[in-house]
Structure 1
Amino acid sequence: MRLFIAEKPDLARAIVQGLGGKSVKKEGWFQVGNDAVTWCFGHLLQLADPEDYDPSLAKWNMAQLPMVFRPWKHKPISDKKKQLQIIVKLIKQADLIVHAGDPDDEGQLLVDEILTYAKNKKPVKRLLINDNNTSVVKKALAKMRDNQEFLGLYQSALARSVADQMYGYNMTRGYTLAAQQKGFRGVLSVGRVQTPILGLVVARDRAHESHQQQFYYQLDGDFNFTQMNQQPLVFRARFQAPEDAPIDEKKRVIDRAYLDQIAQQCYSQPANIVKANNEIKYASAPLPYNLLNLQADASRKFNISPDQTLKITQNLRERHKLITYNRSDCEYLSNEQHGDASSVLSAIAATANVLNKAAKAADPSIKSRAFNSANVSAHHAIIPTATHGDFSKLTEQEKKVYQLIARAYLAQFFPKHQYRQTTIELDCQGHQFKTVEKITLKPGWLVLYKNDKDNDEVHRDKQSSKSKNPDLSSLQQNQQGFCQSLDLQQKETKPLARYTMATLLKDLARVAKYIRDPRLKKLLIEKDKDKKGEHGGIGTPATRSTIIKNLIDRDFICEKGKQVISTETGRDFFDVLPQAATAPDMTALWHEQQKAIQQGQDNIDHFLDGLVEYITTEIARIRSDGLDLKPSQIQATGKADPKNGPACPDCETGVLARRKGKKGFFWGCSRYPECKAIYPDSRGKAKLTKFEKPVLSNHLCKACQKPLIRRKGKKKASWFWGCSGYPECKQTYFDKAGDPDFS
């Protein structure tokens, strides 16, 4: 008996299809002949918490730091115990295990940690699949490898996982306890990825605010090249400053008098075209989405937060079956997926009426640059499935995100955008002027993006004349004209723009550019050498949104309009942290050590020894020196009432603080996320009776198809039914003998 352990249910179904033959669905697995195919739901295990090793560690105490748990141990994730038990039972029955985690370090860790937890001693094969297309799965099944070949990859991922937990727990407790000694009431949360993200936002804000306004000057000339008996041809070209001109680092002229003199010399003087170049160019469609780019566009276009986008795509994938795997960091598709084009285009046309015409105009025979198996990593790009959906059952936000994903896929089956680029270089009295004009000849895929503003991937036509639509393609080298007029403008240098959610997400994929140490910079870039779209980033597309949300929830950063800015609490916290905690350097250093572990040149214990040494030194420093906190910092983090609340009944260490959520005020523990206690608000005071978790019924909301919840009404002994999708869906129903009244 072979047991295939897939990372996700949809991969398990693909393996069943690839094995062929009759399959029987069991509880938590499939039987295919003598083979069993089961699945995980992401990680089924998590590293044990401090109190799992020693109950006394539930209460925070500086004397107990640093906490070092070696050997470490895992425990089941509470809502995934049942599936874990099924897999462990199947492992004991099998003769051969087939590891079918995703073909990356996290996928290797996810299944290997289950095998370790189950104390498996049986032989294990490795199945590498990054595309659920049946033909691809069959090829992968025919060339499985020994899982022992991937031991280094597993140990490398395990080292990072254990180190992240050890670093986060110790540093968070250390800084928080030192702050609480000064009267601070909240939690100063530290993480390898989280804290450098805060550092990026603080640094960007301070660069913006410290900007020194300066002036520079720009000279444009209007040149007349009208020939006899022809339509007027007047166009604008910009002065090109030579190297010896008074210019700044961006080659902008900073001396007005210098340009005044040139303007006087050129006015009404002859001009000669020294270069006239016409090129027909072709622009490929933007690639299909990975999660990062989807989150950035959803934020830019619809003001949907990264965390919301992740949840929306989860629904589109799991509930509606309308899109493929949504946490992908890849923008490419396999060559085999091109054969699915007709069925996917038909599904888009049938699902989203607004895209029906475009889907029917798409040509499935076109094979864009997106179809390249060599560029597919652990997953392929996020695209629509061949499933026809009921658009009316989607929320407004789900519709918007699906349309973004579908449009990017449709663009792959439209012709390339064809345009003519004309470059004209002029000489006037020995001074050089230049203009570049781009005019669309055939829009191709651009018709799908014509109303998409502020999209960096979409080329816009550039006309450089006062006339409505000048065509400079007829101009030739050595053609004579004259300078009709000149326009000298004073410009102000602009400060570095504050982050928006879209620009912050894009920056997280390329933070290496902020590292000053050339060696560390190179290491971080090397980490992403096989990932298209990542260039020395921190975090993953799946974790970044959660980390940003945590920073907002803890009041370290906030959204002001479309801008993402650091709060006073976030800046003050940043100022008391060492540079090692706030810079992305640690990720680069860890990558170097993880790579050595993967190649068998180092081991987990040596890596952790170094980390423990660093943590021990930092805890000793905090213990002896404390934190230099300002009076403004002595208050609870988060959107909390500054008044002291009651002690938290759950952990007996934290303090309850009044906070404002989407549904009104509530009281949460100051030690969040270590303590997740929540209590209702009663007229500004904490009601020390816990919220009762609502029970989801089997009845579905007619408006959005989400489960209904039976709730108590305001009147005594009265009940009603509300949607679990509230506040997005506010549908309610009367109660009729314990059931919703749909009439």
Structure 2
Amino acid sequence: MKKLILAEKPSVARDIGRILNANEKKKNYLEGKNYIITWALGHLLGLKMPEDLNKKWEKWQLETLPMLPKFIGIKPLPKTRGQLKTIESLVKRKDINEIVIATDAGREGELVARWILQYVHANKKVTRLWISSQTDKAVKQGFKELKPAEKYDNLYESALARATADWLVGLNVTRALTVKYQDNLSAGRVQTPTLALVRRQEEKIEKFMPQKYYRIALRIGKQTAYMKQKNIYAIKERDEAEKKKRHLDNFKGQIKDINSKIKREPAPLLYDLTELQREANKRYGYSAKKTLSLVQSLYEIHKVVSYPRTDSRYLSNDIKATLMERLQAIRKYDSRAEEAIKNKAKVILKKVFNDSKVTDHHALIPTEQVPNYSKFSADEQKIYNLIVSRFLGIFAQPYTVEELRVVVTFDKDEFIFVGKKVLDYGWKNKDAAEEVVLNLKKDTAVSPNFTVEEKLTTPPAPLTEAGLLAQMEKFGLGTPATRAEIIEKLVKSELMERTGHALRVTPKGKQLLNLVNKELVSPKLTAKWEKQLEDIAHGKMKSQKFIGDIKNDTKRLVSEVKNSKEDYKDFSLTKKRCPECNSFLKVRKTRDGEIYVCSNPECNYRRRKDAKVSNHRCPQCHRKMLIVEGKNGKYFRCKYDGTTEKMTVGKKSKKMTKHEERRLLKKINQDDEPQESPLALALKAAMGKNE
């Protein structure tokens, strides 16, 4: 008899097949003596849409809201039936007596597998592979310690409750807003309060009024100190500051006190996913999504880091036995590993081991796999550097400095100089700029050398992606696995945009926050929901109670949208007229640039806002020509000399190029949240309705 293994992606299935000697390739699965391995492609199924449940819900109208089905059910996502049919036929094979769930060891991975097994009516024994790294050793050990699937029932219930809540809140509120205000307005239980966090910071900046203030500085040699004040903004007028300076000029200063203090700064805790995303954004400007993709690649393809979608910065005590092997793997990568090996992998940061603070997965650390650096991309190298460096920090001594405080008095006023001498760099890299040398001795007279400095109060800084991730974590919005996708959804739906390293709410986003119920805007309600989902995952709450509360919240949220008296202005509406129905045209952003679409829901007219630049060269000036749409179709036109040429449409090769194949596999292996989430489908439907 054989075991059927269900992996989340083809790439993972191939690796498991290699490890378990199931290498015989079949259509959509691999087979060996003891195992058959098949795969999903991320999510193969999703919750049914409103029109699948009730014909009255097919048309978007306020009268049918809220939609509160007793049971939603699941259906195949587009282009997944072939893989589902394969899995179904394998499940029914008589030589298979056990099914092993080997999807990602997390909430969404559990949902992927359970929905598939539910859809194909699997009625055989089901076990669970639960591992924190993809190395050969971890996989082999995991198969020796397969867990009963029932152990993860609560995790599945939590995942299902999350999907159902997103369906109820996302689809209902999005439909209500879109129909009432005749624009694509998407709202959700997590994305709306996330948007509000960015807007709240913007409001602080908008309300900020810069104010002048003055400070009196004392210079001794190359060192400068400011007069000690209870309130550094207290002196508002230059005359007052100059008067104070003239008074101090009449005195000789005295070095009154010199205090020395030893300060020790232990290494920081290890990375969880959110902390890694924040660090990568600060250092390299990476988006949360890009960092997730890179660390997923290091985990899944290179197998050099542990499970990335973790919410813990701690290690469980059973990891202690693996530390030496992990250090051996990176000894050629970082010289600090050799030092840790000489010290027999002695951990200095002992608080990092805490079983009570490790839930499904421990912190992000290197695996026992020796990395092949030549196969890393430059971006993967940077992320790996961060993880390795943070890991090595737990074996290093604290960063230790001697801090010197020198108090200089003029009359009754004090000026405090601070010096610093590094005694042990410990876990930090050596940096000469860290030290500040003070050559001052007690009871020495100091000549007055004052200046008055004019300063301006500075506004709060706009939120960067790193700052937003910290805020989302603080208020319990989303999980480490979902936060990157939430940010991307806000950008794609044109509610938020990136401006350099900062995030900005668009005019459309600002209006949305005024139109939606204030409870949905506040992070408190969503944080409560996320806490309840965690309680469901740990068996502390029943999912039925949670869904009941969500339905009541949905009723209230929809009702308030219906009864709202707020006005809405569609900033995408232009003064250009549709050539087919004479309605106004709207501007829509797409991956291929901006396009004009008709604002009339019954009209399908669309065209590019600006002509697309092609790679086709002008026969006269040899510069790139534009692709222009006319009455008789598309043609090339040179914007420099007006030359036009017909476009000849050749037959495209049916065979996929290697570049296209790599791009498709990369897309499949992205391991994001389900692409066809209820909110994504609602947004897609809304856009289709208005385009």
Report the TM-score, using the length of structure 1 for normalisation. Answer: 0.68
Q: Following TM superposition, by how much is the alpha carbon of 1:179 offset from its aligned partner in structure 2, in angstroms?
A: 0.7
Q: Is the 8 A contact 2:262 2:402 kept in 1?
A: yes
With over 3 angstroms needed to count, the CA separation of the structure-2 counterparts of 1:222 and 1:574, relative to structure 1, is same
Q: Following TM superposition, by how much is the alpha carbon of 1:58 offset from its aligned partner in structure 2, in angstroms?
A: 3.7
Q: Name the counterpart of 2:477.
A: 538
Q: CA–CA distance in 2 between the matches of 1:598 and 1:191?
A: 21
RMSD of equivalent CA atoms: 4.7
1:461 corresponds, among 423, 434, 442, to 434
Q: Name the counterpart of 1:634.
A: 570
Q: Following TM superposition, by how much is the alpha carbon of 1:506 offset from its aligned partner in structure 2, in angstroms?
A: 3.2
SS at match of 1:95: strand
In the TM superposition, 1:164-203 aligns within 5 A as 164-180=166-182, 186-203=183-200
SS at match of 1:124: strand
Q: CA–CA distance in 1 between the matches of 2:658 and 2:158?
A: 45
Q: Following TM superposition, by how much is the alpha carbon of 1:165 offset from its aligned partner in structure 2, in angstroms?
A: 1.2
State the AA in 1 paired with 2:44.
L
Q: Deviations over 1:253-307 (max 9, x none)?
A: 45675996598358643534435214264663x6776554554455445545444
Q: Name the counterpart of 1:501.
A: 465
Q: Is the 8 A contact 2:158 2:543 kept in 1?
A: yes
SS at match of 1:198: helix
Q: Name the counterpart of 1:582.
A: 521
Q: Name the counterpart of 1:229.
A: none
Residues 545-554 or 57-66, more deviating: 545-554
Q: Is the 8 A contact 2:23 2:32 kept in 1?
A: yes
Q: CA–CA distance in 1 between the matches of 2:632 and 2:298?
A: 38
With over 3 angstroms needed to count, the CA separation of the structure-2 counterparts of 1:157 and 1:258, relative to structure 1, is same
Q: Is the 8 A contact 2:273 2:310 kept in 1?
A: yes
SS at match of 1:120: coil
Q: CA–CA distance in 2 between the matches of 1:446 and 1:200?
A: 33
Residues 46-55 or 66-75, more deviating: 46-55
Q: Is the 8 A contact 1:322 1:388 kept in 2?
A: no
2:388 corresponds, among 406, 409, 426, to 409
Q: Name the counterpart of 1:436.
A: 418
Q: Following TM superposition, by how much is the alpha carbon of 1:593 offset from its aligned partner in structure 2, in angstroms?
A: 3.6
Q: Following TM superposition, by how much is the alpha carbon of 1:642 offset from its aligned partner in structure 2, in angstroms?
A: 5.4
Q: Is the 8 A contact 1:680 1:688 kept in 2?
A: no
Q: Name the counterpart of 2:63.
A: 63
Q: CA–CA distance in 2 between the matches of 1:116 and 1:89?
A: 14
In the TM superposition, 1:671-686 aligns within 5 A as 683=628
2:203 corresponds, among 202, 206, 210, to 206
Q: Deviations over 1:33-85 (max 9, x none)?
A: 54445444433321122222245534312222111233111122334444444
1:426 corresponds, among 385, 400, 407, to 407
With over 3 angstroms needed to count, the CA separation of the structure-2 counterparts of 1:430 and 1:212, relative to structure 1, is same
Q: CA–CA distance in 2 between the matches of 1:15 and 1:665?
A: 44
Q: Is the 8 A contact 2:47 2:74 kept in 1?
A: yes
State the AA in 2 paired with 1:381.
L
State the AA in 2 paired with 1:575.
N
Q: Name the counterpart of 2:47.
A: 47
With over 3 angstroms needed to count, the CA separation of the structure-2 counterparts of 1:252 and 1:92, relative to structure 1, is farther
State the AA in 1 paired with 2:483.
R
Q: Following TM superposition, by how much is the alpha carbon of 1:195 offset from its aligned partner in structure 2, in angstroms?
A: 1.0
5+ residue gaps in structure 1? 181-185, 224-232, 349-357, 451-458, 464-469, 513-536, 649-653, 709-743
Q: Is the 8 A contact 2:217 2:224 kept in 1?
A: yes
SS at match of 2:434: coil
State the AA in 2 paired with 1:158.
L
Q: Is the 8 A contact 2:254 2:446 kept in 1?
A: yes
Q: Deviations over 1:465-493 (max 9, x none)?
A: xxxxx245x86xx6555464344434322
State the AA in 2 paired with 1:628.
E
Q: Name the counterpart of 1:108.
A: 110
Q: Is the 8 A contact 1:44 1:77 kept in 2?
A: yes
With over 3 angstroms needed to count, the CA separation of the structure-2 counterparts of 1:258 and 1:109, relative to structure 1, is same
Q: CA–CA distance in 2 between the matches of 1:89 and 1:200?
A: 49
Query: Is 1:554 aligned to residue 493 of structure 2?
Result: yes
Report the TM-score, using the length of structure 2 for normalisation. Answer: 0.72
Q: Deviations over 1:239-259 (max 9, x none)?
A: 444xxx5x3xxx754567599
With over 3 angstroms needed to count, the CA separation of the structure-2 counterparts of 1:661 and 1:615, relative to structure 1, is closer
Q: Is the 8 A contact 1:326 1:382 kept in 2?
A: no
Q: Is the 8 A contact 2:193 2:523 kept in 1?
A: yes
Query: Is 1:620 aligned to residue 597 of structure 2?
Result: no
With over 3 angstroms needed to count, the CA separation of the structure-2 counterparts of 1:337 and 1:435, relative to structure 1, is same
State the AA in 2 paired with 1:210.
K
Q: CA–CA distance in 1 between the matches of 2:273 and 2:633?
A: 40
Q: CA–CA distance in 1 between the matches of 2:421 and 2:655?
A: 58
In the TM superposition, 1:118-267 aligns within 5 A as 118-134=120-136, 136-137=138-139, 140-141=142-143, 143-180=145-182, 186-222=183-219, 235-241=223-229, 245=230, 247=231, 253-254=234-235, 257=240, 261=244, 264=247
Residues 483-492 or 200-209, more deviating: 483-492
With over 3 angstroms needed to count, the CA separation of the structure-2 counterparts of 1:561 and 1:24, relative to structure 1, is closer
In the TM superposition, 1:465-544 aligns within 5 A as 470-471=437-438, 480-482=444-446, 484-510=448-474, 512=475, 537-544=476-483
1:700 corresponds, among 631, 649, 658, to 658
Q: CA–CA distance in 2 between the matches of 1:303 and 1:629?
A: 37
Q: CA–CA distance in 1 between the matches of 2:455 and 2:300?
A: 52
SS at match of 2:108: helix
Q: Following TM superposition, by how much is the alpha carbon of 1:408 offset from its aligned partner in structure 2, in angstroms?
A: 4.5
Q: Deviations over 1:354-378 (max 9, x none)?
A: xxxx679975727575985856653
Q: CA–CA distance in 1 between the matches of 2:480 and 2:85?
A: 30
Q: Name the counterpart of 2:325.
A: 339
SS at match of 1:437: strand
Q: CA–CA distance in 2 between the matches of 1:602 and 1:31?
A: 41
In the TM superposition, 1:304-343 aligns within 5 A as 304-310=286-292, 327=309, 329=311, 334-335=319-320, 336=322, 338-343=324-329
Q: Deviations over 1:80-124 (max 9, x none)?
A: 444444444444444334444444433333323333333334443
State the AA in 2 paired with 1:157.
A
Q: CA–CA distance in 2 between the matches of 1:174 and 1:338?
A: 58
Q: Is the 8 A contact 2:30 2:38 kept in 1?
A: yes
Paired residue total: 610
State the AA in 1 paired with 2:118.
T
Q: Is the 8 A contact 1:179 1:626 kept in 2?
A: no
Q: CA–CA distance in 2 between the matches of 1:85 and 1:438?
A: 69
Q: CA–CA distance in 2 between the matches of 1:149 and 1:38?
A: 23
Q: Name the counterpart of 1:276.
A: 259
With over 3 angstroms needed to count, the CA separation of the structure-2 counterparts of 1:692 and 1:128, relative to structure 1, is farther
Q: Is the 8 A contact 1:218 1:490 kept in 2?
A: yes
With over 3 angstroms needed to count, the CA separation of the structure-2 counterparts of 1:38 and 1:693, relative to structure 1, is farther
With over 3 angstroms needed to count, the CA separation of the structure-2 counterparts of 1:135 and 1:382, relative to structure 1, is closer
State the AA in 1 paired with 2:247.
Q
With over 3 angstroms needed to count, the CA separation of the structure-2 counterparts of 1:389 and 1:685, relative to structure 1, is farther
Q: Name the counterpart of 2:689.
A: none
Sequence identity (%): 25
Q: Is the 8 A contact 1:421 1:436 kept in 2?
A: no
5+ residue gaps in structure 2? 612-627, 635-648, 665-691
Q: Following TM superposition, by how much is the alpha carbon of 1:494 offset from its aligned partner in structure 2, in angstroms?
A: 1.7
Q: Following TM superposition, by how much is the alpha carbon of 1:170 offset from its aligned partner in structure 2, in angstroms?
A: 0.5
Q: Is the 8 A contact 1:130 1:380 kept in 2?
A: no
With over 3 angstroms needed to count, the CA separation of the structure-2 counterparts of 1:157 and 1:553, relative to structure 1, is closer
